[in-house]
Amino acid sequence: MKKEERQKTILDYLSKEHRVTSIELSEYLSVSEDTIRRDLKELSDQGLLKAVRGGAVAPSPIPLHYRKREKHDIESKKIIAQKAISYLKDGQVVFIDGGTTSLALVASFPHDLKITVITNSFPVAVLIEDLPNIDLIFAGGKMCKTSFATSSIETIDFFRNFRADIFILGICSIHHERGITGILYDDSMLKKNMIQNSNFVIALSSIEKVETAESYFVCPLKDIDVLVTNVSPEDEILKVYKNTGLTIL
């Protein structure tokens, strides 16, 4: 089998299994583990997978730019928003980051909800403008044009001044071993800071992000309290997360 065929087979295998080991692939393709390791490195360098010790995991399938993400899988975001809204109560201080799933949650806020939202997301801020009972505090700093949100050192310093009751965390990738990871360094560091300054963390994730990983570490699974997805909590792929004690909706 030629290298191009072998690497395509590796990607097809990974898309079905979400995680593969070098030993599995060596046996499956009848080649040496050294050959597999070279293939995984090449594919990782191209951004087609994430090479990890002993194998590889799939990267997030979500588009990077906000304009593409806002149109991606809209129905799943609505399902997640409907599940997560029950955690919001009058009087809370709530961090909301720049994810488009977080934005779908804000779009579902009832007009009589009375909370304070602290956000770095311009689209979130625009939606909240129309909600008369919600106080808005916006985190300044340099705007990332990919996410339409601020995520500079000034933004991180800003969030250190608050202690939120709840953090609505939009995630890029979640993996049962690698935890929550992100594509953008500044955004990942900001999420980490927001988690540290929150009493309760609700992570929002469509099922296609589950068992994927990216380059920048945000937090281990133990740092989040609830994982909200668009599928049943009994879905087979979520079993390993439930076994850690994580609450799943």
The tens digit of pLDDT for each residue in 73-109 reads 678 888 999 999 999 999 999 999 988 888 889 989 9
User: Quick one: pLDDT at residue 192?
Assistant: 94
CATH architecture assigned to 3-57: Orthogonal Bundle (1.10)
User: Quick one: pLDDT at residue 177?
Assistant: 83
User: Quick one: pLDDT at residue 68?
Assistant: 56
Residue 128, pLDDT above cutoff 70 = yes
Residue 52, pLDDT above cutoff 90 = no
Among 8-17, 83-92, 137-146, 195-204, the minimum mean pLDDT is found in: 8-17
Among 81-95, 145-159, 187-201, the minimum mean pLDDT is found in: 145-159
Q: What is the pTM of this model?
A: 0.77
1 versus 32: the higher-pLDDT residue is 32
Chain-wide mean pLDDT for the chain? 86
Q: Where are the domains of the chain?
A: 3-57, 66-248
When pLDDT is averaged across residues 1-12 and rounded to a whole number, the result is 80
Task: Give me the CATH topology for the region 66-248.
Answer: Rossmann fold (3.40.50)
Going through the chain in order, the beta strands assigned E by DSSP cover: 19-21, 50-52, 55-57, 93-96, 116-119, 135-138, 143-144, 149-150, 166-170, 173-175, 179-182, 201-204, 216-219, 226-228, 247-248
Order of all β-strands in the sheet with 55-57: 19-21, 55-57, 50-52
